[in-house]
Structure 1
Amino acid sequence: MIRTRSALPAVVAVATALALGGCKAGDGSSGSSGSAGKAPHGSALAAADALTVKGRAPKTGYARKEFGSAWSDTDHNHCPTRDDVLKRDLRDIRYKSGDCQVTSGTLVEDPYTGTTIKFVRGHSKVDIDHVVALSDAWQKGAQQWDKAKRTALANDPLNLLAVDSSTNRSKGDGDTATWLPAYKPARCGYVARQVAVKKKYGLWVTGAEQNAMKRVLSGCPSEKLPTG
């Protein structure tokens, strides 16, 4: 028996707001780097200005396995993290009978392209992206962590979004200085989420990365720092 869900639950609305909200004031594609002193308390712009700035460390020793098994059930709800994120971000979800496994659904307004994408397990054009790429995290502090903290980062919903697969793969391990979504209305939310992840886990940023973050967020200075 297949269970269906046709209504968008409140949790998806929250996730969408986090990923896309607050960008109507500007797309972040132009403007000055801004000043944290003028940014509202609790804003992503103020948080970006407070991040530690250091040079990128070597990638030596990086491997996906250093961040634990892919899609570990870190919240102990008996569902892999990948399915948890699909349930949060997709609409019109269908599940495998007697399981939490998502078999199909629809990604409405993909945060990287703005398009609507049909998800069908095994034939999908939807990936789960690490907003802060794991190799980027490795070069900016994570190589110094224990494996438990790295596993937490790799499975933290704050650092995960369902997105267009081809765009995700072209992003690679880019940070804000080297890659932004082509879909400009999503840029504020995307960068704010990167800032939130780096703040939460104590990851540093390069000077170019921080400047790029502030340049985007200066177009939406009231963008809140996501939590999760």
Structure 2
Amino acid sequence: MKFYFLAALTFLTLLYLYPGPRLDIATVPQRQDVLGYDRALFGSWQPHGQCTTREAVRLAQSTQASVLNCRVTGGTFYDPYSDQAVSNSEAVEVDHVFPLSAAWDMGAHNWDRSKRARFANDPLNLVATQRSLNQQKSDSLPSEWLPPKKRCAYSTRLAEIARAYELSLPTADVSVMRRQCRFEFLLPG
């Protein structure tokens, strides 16, 4: 009986102490609306080989893609937000994981145009997803929106982007992100 009690106690201790993925990022009390945001300040889709970054992301997340002049016109896309395959290429958009307007509010307003364009075209910050999910998300951070699936992976990626570009996140968003990953080690694959 003692063995089972000790095993259960050890398991509960591990659940409580498990640190989860690395979400150590700078925080601020809340997101401030910084005047002057305009999508054009982040530039357009940059060349990525012979295609644009947008089409390169769509191509990277597709299988059996139909491509015409670097434009993905068909195929099946893996959507990490829904964890589903999407077969309608017209229903797929490229999302900025760390929304551009949120980045503006969190520090990108101080960047030069070159760094903003690099951020907007960084494959780390881009994901092909269903148009409906992209529109639901809009410019929201995790306290306002989370994907229906793979929430820990989304939170971890957002934290990685924030660290890479030295962007802060509001405390409420980081708290939500940490909750998504709390028991991730228990989930299969």
Tell me which interval the TM-score lies in, with the shorter structure as reference length. Answer: 0.7 to 0.9
| TM-score, scaled to structure 1 | 0.69
Select 2:74's aligned residue among 104, 108, 117: 104
Partner of 1:88: 60
Q: Aligned residues, how many?
A: 171
1:81 and 1:193 map into 2 onto residues whose CA distance is 18
Pairwise CA RMSD of aligned residues? Answer: 2.0
Higher relative contact order (CA 8 A, sep 6+): 1
> Which structure 2 residues correspond to residues 1-228 of structure 1 after superposition, within 5 A?
38-39=18-19, 45-46=21-22, 48=23, 50-54=24-28, 55-69=30-44, 71-73=45-47, 75=48, 77-96=49-68, 99-108=69-78, 110-120=79-89, 124-183=90-149, 186-220=150-184
Distance, in Å, in 2 between the alignment partners of 1:193 and 1:139 is: 19
Q: Which structure 1 residue ranges, 4+ long, deviate > 6 Å from structure 2?
A: none
Question: Which structure's residues are more often helix, by fraction?
Answer: 2
Query: Hey, what does 1:19 align to over in structure 2?
Result: none
Task: State how far apart, in whole Å, the 1-side matches of 2:131 and 2:183 are.
Answer: 27
Q: What is the one-letter code of the residue matched to 1:170?
A: Q
The separation in 2 between residues aligned to 1:95 and 1:188, in whole angstroms, is 32
Q: Which has the higher strand share?
A: 2
Structure 2 gap segments, 5+ residues each: 1-15
Gaps (5+ residues) in structure 1? 1-33, 223-228
Q: Which residue of 1 aligns with 2:13?
A: none
Deviation at 1:56, TM superposition (A): 1.7
